[in-house]
């Protein structure tokens, strides 16, 4: 753990969901390391990393879970969504099925208390505008119907990341989980971790995806 972090620092569990190939692992990589690699490496099961961010001058520990979209791993997902604080549900703006499947992903979240979790709908691959098959308005409408955060981004170029994370998500964390600067609604007690932001930069364990 980063030496600046104490056990009292709030921790939030953030999980990436969405069809295989929509860019979940690349989004995580862009968010953690500000890099993008074209080379495709399917995530096996679940990958876990962490990052410290500051909200209201307090260090916040984000625990980031990257899931695999393959059906055979889907049965594992409820174990991780059960105590999630933040769910990032990703589709690919150049893949209609990945957008249509969002409803099924939501239906699968039977064990999630939607009033307590922050849910973001993310339209990735915004750079592929020539191949776009999902309009921004469609994504926006879907998110608004459910009262979720919405943002189109590109893991390749980094477009939209600042709006998604720093403007929308961190602001929502501030108002929803910490209205008076208190502890988050859930604490993660059942896992140990030893990767912080610095370690992520050094890590050669995985490239992207
Ligand atoms: N053009 C473009 N390609 C992307 C973007 N994000 C991911 N990809 C590509 O999409 C493929 C799947 O990405 P990956 O992160 O492994 O998807 P995952 O299965 O959801 O984790 C890879 O070939 C990536 O290079 C993006 O923003 N733009
Ligand atoms: Mg992946």
Residues in contact with ligand 1 by the CB-under-6-Å rule are: 20-26, 38, 40, 43, 69, 124-125, 127-128, 154-156, 209
Pick 156 or 73 by higher pLDDT: 156
pLDDT of residue 189 exceeding 70? no
Q: How does pLDDT run across 94-145, given as a tens digit for each residue?
A: 999 999 999 999 998 988 999 999 999 999 999 999 999 999 999 999 999 9
58 CA → ligand 2 middle, Å? 30
Sheet of 118-124, strands arranged across: 46-55, 58-67, 11-17, 86-92, 118-124, 149-152
Q: Whose CA is nearest to atom 12 of ligand 1?
A: 21
* pLDDT number for residue 26: 94
Q: How does pLDDT run across 43-75, given as a tens digit for each residue?
A: 666 678 899 998 888 899 999 999 876 656 777
């Amino acid at each position: 753990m980063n030496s600046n972090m104490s056990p009292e620092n709030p921790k939030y569990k953030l999980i990436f969901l969405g069809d295989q190939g929509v860019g979940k692992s690349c989004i995580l990589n862009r968010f953690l390391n500000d890099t993008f690699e074209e080379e495709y490496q399917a995530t096996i099961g679940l990958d876990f990393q962490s990052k410290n961010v500051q909200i209201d001058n307090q260090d916040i520990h984000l625990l980031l879970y990257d899931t695999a979209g393959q059906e055979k791993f889907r049965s594992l997902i409820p174990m991780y969504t059960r105590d999630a604080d933040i769910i990032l549900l990703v589709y690919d703006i150049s893949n209609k099925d990945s957008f249509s499947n969002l409803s099924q992903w939501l239906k699968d979240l039977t064990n999630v208390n939607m009033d307590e979790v922050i849910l973001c709908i993310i339209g990735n691959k915004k750079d592929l505008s020539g191949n776009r098959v999902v309009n921004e308005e469609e994504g926006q409408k879907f998110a608004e119907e459910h009262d979720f955060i919405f943002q189109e981004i590109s893991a390749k170029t980094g477009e939209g990341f600042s709006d998604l994370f720093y403007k929308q998500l961190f602001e929502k964390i501030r108002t929803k989980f910490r209205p008076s600067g208190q502890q988050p609604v859930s604490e993660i007690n059942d896992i140990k971790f030893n990767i912080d932001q610095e370690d992520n930069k050094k890590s050669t364990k995985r490239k992207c995806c």
